[in-house]
């Protein structure tokens, strides 16, 4: 069957289309994105298309998750090629609303997941996860998916969304997908497009830090201080500005002093003006 992809911009129309899709094609999957699609996004979309009868991809650069002075205005955008990618992947609907359709005049409802949002990126970006949780909940209510696909690349976001789905009985399956990397280890990110050549070369030291800590863990090191020190040394080689290096409990996001199997190292660092994040499970 040839699928003709629809591009929908209005929440009401999307809700109507989702109702019809769900009755014809279940399970209905959703892959929320901010566009500028790369192979990381594509891996989520491909997984969704193999596991769902129909898939909606949302493309929405959510203004409410960017703080003052962050890169909202500079966030990369490539809608035409994103639509082509989605069409080739036989997506049923791309939902690409304008900001004022998601946040109409007088908008006043917000979702907070305070404990999980407190540390790591939440500590440096106040209000970020409130914006994420609110928009993701809205996308669920507009697109009415049964399965939703998120990347482990944004690990704190994934854990927080799982919590929100449980707490609010949202009734969707949250599927976490592994991080897709460039050949040299750099985690794919839409923001990589904004790196200058020299910054792109320095950015690889973020994943090198993670892999160095993982090697140490496999060799038996469990002291978080030692693991952080090793990662720190790699990051210094790239001359990046470190926001945080933490080893966390993978469910509570609490920072640890002693690492255990499947705890995760998470790093955020600025390369020039571009803030990048990455994380890796520590497994021996
Ligand atoms: P974004 O467009 O950056 O908001 O990302 C949309 C979704 O794609 C989120 O669930 C991200 O975690 C996921 N994602 C982004 N980069 C990657 C990657 N390199 N590998 C796997 N998933 C990713």
Q: Which of 29, 30, 41 to mutate to test the pocket of ligand 1 (most atoms within 8 A of CB)?
A: 41
276 ligand 1 Cβ < 6 A: no
Task: Name the residue at shortest CA distance from atom 10 of ligand 1.
Answer: 150
- 128 is a catalytic site residue: no
- Would you say the CB of residue 235 lies under 6 angstroms from ligand 1? no
Query: pLDDT of 232-256, one tens digit each?
Result: 999 999 999 999 999 999 999 999 9
Nearest CA-CA partner of 174 in 193, 196, 157, 198: 157
**CA gap 76, 217 in Å, rounded:** 36
Global pTM? Answer: 0.97
Counting Cα atoms < 13 Å in the Cβ hemisphere of 69 gives: 4
Which spans in the chain are helix H?
Answer: 11-24, 39-51, 79-88, 99-102, 114-118, 120-124, 128-143, 155-167, 197-218, 224-237
Model confidence pLDDT, tens digit, residues 185-226: 999 999 999 999 999 999 999 999 999 999 999 999 999 999
The reply to whether ligand 1 has any atom less than 6 angstroms from the CB of 138 is no
Using pLDDT thresholds of 50, 70 and 90, give the confidence band for residue 68.
confident
Q: Burial letters for 106-115: b for 16+ Cβ neighbours within 10 Å, e otherwise?
A: eeeeebebee
Give the tens place of pLDDT for each residue, 147-172: 999 999 999 999 999 999 999 999 99
Q: Is the pLDDT of residue 3 over 90?
A: no
Pairing label, strands 241-248, 54-59: unpaired
Q: Decide: 5 and 124 in contact? Cβ < 8 Å.
A: no
Phi, psi dihedral angles at 256 (to 5 degrees)? -110, 160
- Best of 30, 32, 153, 180 to mutate for ligand 1, by most ligand atoms within 8 A of CB? 153
């Amino acid at each position: 069957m040839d699928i003709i992809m629809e591009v929908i911009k209005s929440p009401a129309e999307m809700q109507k289309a989702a109702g019809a899709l769900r009755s014809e094609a279940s399970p209905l999957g959703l892959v929320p994105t901010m566009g500028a699609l790369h192979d990381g996004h594509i891996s989520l979309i491909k997984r969704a298309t193999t596991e769902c009868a129909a898939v909606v991809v949302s493309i929405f650069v959510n203004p409410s998750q960017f703080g003052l002075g962050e890169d909202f205005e500079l966030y990369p955008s490539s809608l035409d090629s994103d639509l082509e990618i989605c069409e080739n992947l036989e997506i049923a609907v791309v939902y690409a609303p304008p900001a004022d359709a998601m946040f109409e005049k007088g908008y006043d409802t917000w979702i907070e997941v305070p404990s999980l949002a407190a540390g790591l990126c939440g500590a440096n970006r106040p209000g970020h996860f409130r914006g994420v949780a609110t928009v993701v909940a809205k996308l669920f209510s507009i697109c009415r998916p049964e399965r939703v696909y998120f990347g482990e690349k944004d690990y704190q976001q994934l854990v927080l969304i799982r919590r929100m789905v449980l707490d609010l009985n949202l009734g969707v399956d949250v599927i976490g997908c592994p991080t897709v990397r460039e050949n040299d280890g750099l985690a794919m990110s839409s923001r990589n497009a904004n790196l200058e050549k020299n910054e792109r070369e320095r950015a690889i030291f973020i994943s090198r830090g993670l892999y160095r800590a993982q090697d140490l863990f496999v060799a038996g090191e469990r002291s978080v201080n030692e693991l952080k020190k090793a990662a720190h040394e790699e990051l210094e080689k790239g001359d990046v500005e470190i926001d945080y290096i933490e080893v966390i409990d993978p469910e509570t996001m609490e920072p640890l002093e002693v690492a255990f199997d499947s705890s995760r190292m998470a790093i955020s660092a600025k390369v020039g003006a571009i803030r990048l994040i990455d994380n890796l499970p520590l497994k021996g």
